[in-house]
Amino acid sequence: MTQATAIHGEKISLLRVLGPGHVWALGVGIVLVGEYMGWNFAVGKGGAMAALIACWVAGLLYTCVAMIDSEVTSTVAAAGGQYAQAKHIVGPLMAFNVGLYLVFAYTMLEAANAITLGYLVQTVGTMAGFADAHDKPFIVLTIVFLAWLNYRGVYATLTVNLILTAVAFIAIIVLFAAVKPWSNEMLHHNELLNGLPYGWLGVIASLHFGLWYYLGIEGTCQAAEEVRSPARSLPLGTMTGIITLLIAATMTWYVCAGLMPWEYLGQAITPLFDAARLTESMPLMVLLFIGTVFSTLASANGCINDASRAWFSMGRDRYLPIWFGAVHPKNRTPYRSIVFLVPVALVFAYFAPLDQVITFSILSGLLGYTYMSLNVILFRKKWPLDTIKRGYVHPFHPLPALVLLILCAATYFAVFLGYGTQLVAMMIFFVIASVWFHFHRYKYVRRGDQFTMQWPRPLGY
């Protein structure tokens, strides 16, 4: 595919190896782990119907995220994502916080993936006759092995064929077809669905884990180095990803809600694998086992990569000690950041339950989305449409920002309903970190280096 994009005011052509459909499927793949685990905690908060409503409302939240992110990313350097946006539009303190949100969201997701993988291996081990199988060694092994792979960089390639990783996506479709959704032979929605056991408050409470279906979808649009991201591909890529996840999420919900009572589904660690077990089909169990293993491994690997790079960038910008900004002379990886974050992931994966680890990841992501809604309002105010060229202009401004802000506020309330302690603890952590940055760390930051775009002076400055 040849794609024309603008650079330096000129049009150039780039050869792309993959077609748009391929890119879309692969982009969704990395987020697909949300279908394999975590989403079902929403069922526990408000029942199966509440979880479905939360899933669709979360889809609306992410539509706003995609629209806002596409406009800002098509203008600010796409490389660096929200972290680079915060540096340019708000300032170092916001960038420091956004960097921390990213690191925590990724590290907690990595821990959640390791917990799921460990539990799955334990379950399968028990089924195979190893009654004494324990999940903890596999949790540690997963984190340490993937950290080692990331430490080694291009010296140690993860070269399992992409087709194998596509199994994670295909497995959900096969499971859907195998349970014969057109009949009541295997699915028993009439008996298992019980409306809204906690009323509409339960629906709001479910919103908390509804975000899990899509968390990180905005990060799947990877920019090229030599061009601003194409105006069309950014919103299109993310929107099609959201639609795909919405369909996959509804299918996942339909299968699981028809096979398991909500009391069990609401606290299951591997709901899709459990659904396969209930079909009593060995090939399906194997397929869902492989799907869960690959999706959690791919996701955890991506998380280690991205968290360490966010931490590394903060070190390079002197938001953290410059020591973290070091690159391994041979492997060319941010090795100190990788090693530093391993014990953080291990502590959470080893000692915290899955729902709490997921809550920390969701909260970090949620803080990032809240920032995005305020960021785009500031962006439009400081640099109105006619002052700098945008690759994409999102419609109905400021409606998407306001909808996003309202949905974020509702989700904070949802988190508070079930995980108030975690919410307060996280807020206190970020306040303390911000105070430390403002009064201690900021003096080391090279202020002149923060802003690299040749934009006009912002309005009102």
Residues within the interface to another protein (CB under 8 A)? 7-8, 12, 15-18, 22-23, 26-27, 29-30, 73, 77-81, 83-84, 102, 127-129, 150, 153-162, 164-165, 219-227, 298, 301-302, 305-306, 309-310, 312-313, 316-317, 325, 327, 330-332, 334, 448-449, 452-454
Q: Smallest gap, in angstroms, from Cβ of residue 260 to another protein?
A: 24
Cβ proximity to another protein, 164 vs 431, nearer residue? 164
Question: Token pair of 24, please?
Answer: 């879309």
Q: What is the distance between the alpha carbons of residues 80 and 102, in angstroms, rounded to a whole number? A: 11
* Minimum separation from the CB atom of position 365 to another protein (A): 14
Least separation, in Å, of the C-beta of 396 and another protein? 25
| Residue 309 or 394 having the CB closest to another protein | 309
| Closer residue to another protein, CB minimum distance, 125 or 261 | 125
Cα angle: 176, vertex 178, 182; to 5 degrees? 70
Q: Which two tokens stand for residue 38?
A: 């975590």
Helix (H, G, I), strand (E, B) or coil at 3: strand
- Within a 13 Å sphere around the CA of 5, how many CA atoms are in the beta-carbon half? 22
Task: Decide whether 18 or 247 has the Cβ nearer to another protein.
Answer: 18
Would you say 267 or 331 has its CB closer to another protein? 331
Q: Which is nearer to another protein, 38 or 216 (CB)?
A: 216
> Which residues are CB-contacts of 344 (< 8 A; sequence separation ≥ 6)?
107
β-strands 2-7, 10-15 pairing: antiparallel
Place of tokens 């984190």: 143
Cβ of residue 448: shortest distance to another protein, in angstroms? 6
- Could you tell me the smallest distance in angstroms from the CB atom of residue 139 to another protein? 18
CB of 51 to another protein, least distance (A): 27
What minimum distance in Å lies between the beta carbon of 16 and another protein? Answer: 8
- Which residue, 189 or 330, has its beta carbon nearer to another protein? 330
Q: What is the full DSSP assignment across 38-93?
A: TTTHHHHHH-HHHHHHHHHHHHHHHHHHHHHHHHHHTTS-STTHHHHHHHHHT-HH
Q: Is 125 exposed, middle or buried (0-12, 13-18, 19+ CB in 10 A)?
A: middle
1 and 16 in contact (C-beta within 8 Å)?
yes
